[in-house]
Amino acid sequence: MDISLSGSKHKPILRILVDKEGGIALDECTDINRQLSDILDKDDIIKESFILEVSSPGLDRPLTEKKDFEKVIGKEINLCTKEPIEGENFFQAMLGSVGEDFISLKLNGTQLKIPYENIRNAKICITMQRKLRK
């Protein structure tokens, strides 16, 4: 679960991303939204009026934990580092392996190890292909 509060002071947006093994359905998000809305209203946790959004992280879900990376081994990912590695902060490469303290990207025929603590954000690279009609 990922929780964020954004928007303006007068119209805050409370966003909650929920997920489970195998994915989450729209009606499950709706149920969670209703339950959270009831709790937040009853306990008056957020004093001002706000918008509550409950959704699935979708295809471009962030990769934040070791298990997230393990699911996408062999796929291309976009990754930003906190500190530069070989002068670069952004990498688009195939995820080769996942270790206890690092991930390994296949980049230009070599393996580049990136420690988890140096990963600012990472997502699977999504490409859209369109079939051309003849």
pLDDT tens-place string over residues 5-16: 888 877 888 888
| Fold (CATH) for 66-124 | SH3 type barrels. (2.30.30)
CATH code for the domain defined by 2-55: 3.30.70
pLDDT tens-place string over residues 77-132: 999 999 999 899 999 999 999 999 999 999 888 999 999 999 999 998 877 666 66
DSSP states of 67-91 as a string? HHHHHTTTSEEEEEEEEEETTEEEE
Closest CA relative to residue 105, chosen from 121, 88, 93, 117: 93
The one-letter amino acid at 98: V
CA distances 132 to 83, 118, 129, Å, are: 42, 41, 9
Q: Does the pLDDT value for residue 22 go beyond 80?
A: no
> For residue 53, what pLDDT band results from cuts at 50, 70 and 90?
confident
> For residue 45, what pLDDT band results from cuts at 50, 70 and 90?
confident
51 CB-side CA count, 13 A? 11
What's the whole-number mean pLDDT along residues 60-77? 89
Q: Does the pLDDT value for residue 37 go beyond 90?
A: no
Domain boundaries, the chain: 2-55, 66-124
